[in-house]
């Protein structure tokens, strides 16, 4: 049977690492997971209790844009976090942030359009664009800009769209208001659609992240319940769109997804109020971050930029190897620690980088760092 060229996307390497780790665990190995952005905490207790109560009633289709109460709750979150008064009608609840990206790209771009994305960056941007017959345009970001794009990086690129993530994945670095505003202003002047990936908002360790909605309403903003709210497996995200795009996105959502999962929406509505538990989770990540910033250099990973947010550290390993894929495999099989090769995030420079996640339990972080230190010491002794 024939195959579409749209299906010719690269693998999501981190998920291949997850599978390799699973196979080792099935064979009896204990693996420390530093590869995937999977919070080690469960969904908030209030969210689980709300769903348990809702199971006594039928759970079926909701409106395509999501439960009105949840959309209003998300709008209220923008006021609480950023001081932004947001019309709940602009909030679209989606089947994970992945569903939001599909709706965004379908609403904004035509086949063949060129969409810029910073490198290093979330790999699925590139692959979803390709699967939709769009052209991803990698924008290499410089270390002096903390691996975030700046308007000068866009010079010479004919773009119809730009995706920016702050905090970034894999770097964890953030754009301040001036830097984010400069990118938004650059795109506005040139008719480039601006998409702000704010999935790691709420996870910061100094100043909070700035939302694009604090600067402009003429953009798409994407977020998720997966990270700050510890609800990865519930597959629920949201997006905020300009008012004159609501009906376009609604028609797409009706046909592509019918609606987001009802059960997850019930839990998410309750999760919005679980502030004390969620902030306790963030305190755990802050401690994990502290341990990583001490432990990774002690293990030999000295070239790192301290992250502002999210729960990742991106390390330059060019002094150790020129093959991050093979190095990650070595660390997994010999040290029992799963990490992600930089090739997932940057096809041009990623062979010299690794990403470490500190989203797991603190005890696992401590053990993982000890294993990494022992492995690197043995590696040095061998050669």
User: For the chain, what percent of residues have pLDDT higher than 90?
Assistant: 91
Phi/psi of residue 335, nearest 5 degrees: -105, -15
Q: What is the mean pLDDT of the chain?
A: 96
All domains in the chain, ordered by first residue: 5-42+276-382 (3.40.640.10), 46-273 (3.40.640.10)
Q: What is the pLDDT of residue 380?
A: 64
Long-range contacts (CB closer than 8 Å, 24 or more residues apart) made by 82-89: 82/210, 82/211, 82/213, 82/214, 83/214, 84/211, 84/213, 84/214, 86/213, 86/240, 87/243, 89/243, 89/246
Q: Over range 218-237, report the average pLDDT.
A: 97
Angle formed at CA 135 by CA 325 and CA 241, multiple of 5 degrees: 105
Q: What is the pLDDT of residue 45?
A: 97
Phi/psi of residue 314, nearest 5 degrees: -105, 120
Phi/psi of residue 347, nearest 5 degrees: -65, -20
* CA 314 to each of CA 53, 174, 287, 305, 346: distance values in angstroms, whole numbers, following the listed order: 42, 14, 17, 7, 12
Per-residue pLDDT tens digits for 21-69: 999 999 999 999 999 888 988 999 999 999 999 998 899 999 999 999 9
User: For the chain, what percent of residues have pLDDT higher than 70?
Assistant: 99
Q: What is the pLDDT of residue 138?
A: 97
Rg (CA), the chain: 21
Phi/psi of residue 278, nearest 5 degrees: -70, -40
Q: Is a pLDDT exceeding 80 seen at residue 353? A: yes
Q: What is the pLDDT of residue 49?
A: 97
Q: Over range 360-371, report the average pLDDT.
A: 97
Among the listed residues 200, 177, 17, the one whose alpha carbon sits nearest the alpha carbon of residue 121 = 200
Q: What is the pLDDT of residue 8?
A: 84
Lowest mean pLDDT among 21-30, 339-348, 372-381: 372-381
Q: Is a pLDDT exceeding 60 seen at residue 383? A: no
Q: Over range 110-121, report the average pLDDT.
A: 97
Q: How far apart are CA 91 and CA 86, in angstroms?
A: 8
Contact status, residue 195 vs residue 164, Cβ threshold 8 Å: yes
Q: What is the pTM of this model?
A: 0.95
Q: How far apart are CA 335 and CA 376, in angstroms?
A: 9
Q: How confident is the model at residue 267 (pLDDT cuts 50, 70, 90)?
A: very high
Q: What is the pLDDT of residue 13?
A: 86
CB atoms within 10 A of CB 83: 9
Q: Over range 134-162, report the average pLDDT.
A: 96
Among the listed residues 359, 368, 364, 309, the one whose alpha carbon sits nearest the alpha carbon of residue 42 = 359
Q: Over range 241-269, report the average pLDDT.
A: 98
Q: How far apart are CA 269 and CA 304, in angstroms?
A: 37
Q: Which 8-state DSSP code applies to residue 88?
A: G
Q: How confident is the model at residue 229 (pLDDT cuts 50, 70, 90)?
A: very high
Q: Which two tokens stand for residue 153?
A: 């990086």
Lowest mean pLDDT among 7-21, 224-238, 265-279, 289-303: 7-21
Is residue 314 exposed (0-12), middle (13-18) or buried (19+ Cβ within 10 Å)?
A: buried
* CA 192 to each of CA 65, 216, 316, 382: distance values in angstroms, whole numbers, following the listed order: 25, 14, 32, 52
Q: How far apart are CA 123 and CA 383, in angstroms?
A: 33
Residue 167 neighbours by CB under 8 Å, 6+ apart: 173, 174, 200, 201, 203, 204, 209, 307, 308, 309, 310
Q: How confident is the model at residue 179 (pLDDT cuts 50, 70, 90)?
A: very high
Q: What is the pLDDT of residue 382?
A: 62
- Token pair 């609606």 is found at 259
Is residue 108 exposed (0-12), middle (13-18) or buried (19+ Cβ within 10 Å)?
A: buried
Between 95 and 12, the more confident residue is 95
Among the listed residues 180, 124, 186, the one whose alpha carbon sits nearest the alpha carbon of residue 148 = 180
Residue 22 neighbours by CB under 8 Å, 6+ apart: none
CB atoms within 10 A of CB 112: 9
Q: What is the pLDDT of residue 7?
A: 83
CB atoms within 10 A of CB 43: 23
Contact status, residue 204 vs residue 306, Cβ threshold 8 Å: no
């Amino acid at each position: 049977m024939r195959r579409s060229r749209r299906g010719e996307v690269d693998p999501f390497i981190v998920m291949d690492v997850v599978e390799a780790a699973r196979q080792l665990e099935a064979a009896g190995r204990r693996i420390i997971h530093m590869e995937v952005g999977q919070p080690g905490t469960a969904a908030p207790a209030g969210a689980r209790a709300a769903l348990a109560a809702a199971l006594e009633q039928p759970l079926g289709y909701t409106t395509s844009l999501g439960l009105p109460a949840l959309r209003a709750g998300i709008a209220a979150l923008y006021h609480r976090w950023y001081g932004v008064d947001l019309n709940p009608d602009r909030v679209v609840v989606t089947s994970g942030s992945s569903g939001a990206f599909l709706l965004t790209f379908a609403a904004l771009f035509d086949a063949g359009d060129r969409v810029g994305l910073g490198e290093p960056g979330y790999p699925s941007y590139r692959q979803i664009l390709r699967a939709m017959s769009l052209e991803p345009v990698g924008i290499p970001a410089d270390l002096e800009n903390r691996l975030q794009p700046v308007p000068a990086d866009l010079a010479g690129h004919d773009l119809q769209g730009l995706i920016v993530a702050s905090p970034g994945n894999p770097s964890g670095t953030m754009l301040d208001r001036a830097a984010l505003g400069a990118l938004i202003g650059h795109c506005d002047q040139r008719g480039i659609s601006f998409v702000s990936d704010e999935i790691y908002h709420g996870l910061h360790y100094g100043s909070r992240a700035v939302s694009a909605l604090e600067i402009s309403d003429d953009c798409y903003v994407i977020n998720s319940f997966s990270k700050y709210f510890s609800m990865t497996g519930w597959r629920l995200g949201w997006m905020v769109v300009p008012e004159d795009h609501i009906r376009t996105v609604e028609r797409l959502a009706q046909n592509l997804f019918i609606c987001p999962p009802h059960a997850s929406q019930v839990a998410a509505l309750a999760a919005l109020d679980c502030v004390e538990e969620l902030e306790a989770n963030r305190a755990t990540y802050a401690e994990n971050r502290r341990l990583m910033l001490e432990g990774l250099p002690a293990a030999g990973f000295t070239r790192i930029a301290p992250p502002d947010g999210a729960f990742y550290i991106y390390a330059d390993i060019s002094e150790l190897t020129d093959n991050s894929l093979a190095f990650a495999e070595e660390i997994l099989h010999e040290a029992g620690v799963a990490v992600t090769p930089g090739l997932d995030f940057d096809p041009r420079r990623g062979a010299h980088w690794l990403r470490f996640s500190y989203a797991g339990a603190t005890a696992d972080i401590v053990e993982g760092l000890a294993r990494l230190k022992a492995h690197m010491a043995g590696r040095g002794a061998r050669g």
